Chain A
């Protein structure tokens, strides 16, 4: 079956602009996760959705970051007023109730 998909695959933006990153999980997976991978910080967990609800948003790096999930499926990660330190690969994963997370190909964000 289809895996996790993410769009865009690459995004180049100017400092101060807003960006939206999209994740389409594996069909039937109820849990969805966002991570960030950068050279300096490694792989960081950002936020987790069970259905449309995010129980804990403390992993988001700043209040410029927000995420939502609608219909228990697609999720959007929004970064407002982007900064150069936001440059990273943003990874999405999904899982069924059994807990193994399967990852998408990522969105490479470059903030100029």
Chain B
């Protein structure tokens, strides 16, 4: 069975601080996808990033960066110079990959509520 653990229920930082959201996963699959989604107060889940299990390169997109380490089954997300607009609930998720490249349903963590104070 798959499992995603986001141990940080809530994080509160002051604007411009850097913040890292932790994600640890469990799976028996050798091929899988990892995701991060953002859920702002409006409620809609917004896709941020997808990583394939065979690609451990870290990724940076503007103020966002992701650190994928298979050895520790972790996929952590860092926001640099946080802004008030980053306030949201962030979900880490995992899915099995089918042979054709499609994905099974996502297994989500419980989410981390990030509060950026001005």
**A: which residues have CB within 8 A of B?**
30-31, 33, 35, 42-43, 45-48, 50, 59, 89, 91, 93, 95, 97-106
Contacts and interface: CB of A to CB of B under 8 A. Distances in A.
Contacts of A91: 45
15 contacts: A31-B102, A33-B105, A43-B108, A43-B111, A45-B105, A46-B105, A59-B105, A89-B43, A95-B103, A99-B95, A100-B35, A100-B103, A101-B47, A103-B47, A106-B43
B103 A102 contact: no
Of B46, B95, B105, B109, the most chain A CB neighbours within 10 A belong to B105
Interface of B: 33, 35, 37, 43-47, 50, 91, 93, 95, 97, 100-111
A100 B102 contact: no
Of A48, A98, A101, A106, the most chain B CB neighbours within 10 A belong to A101
Interface of A is mostly: strand
A35 B43 CA distance: 14
A91 B37 CA distance: 14
Contacts of A106: 43-44
Nearest to A101: B106
A46 B33 CA distance: 19
Given A99-B50, A100-B50, A101-B47, A45 B102 contact: no
Given A42-B108, A43-B108, A99 B33 contact: yes
B25 to A, nearest CB: 15
Contacts of B109: 42
Contact of B100 (A43, A93, A97, A103): A97
Nearest to B37: A103
A91 to B, nearest CB: 7
Contacts of A50: 102
B37 to A, nearest CB: 8
Nearest to B107: A45
Given A48-B105, A100-B50, A105 B44 contact: yes
A29 to B, nearest CB: 11
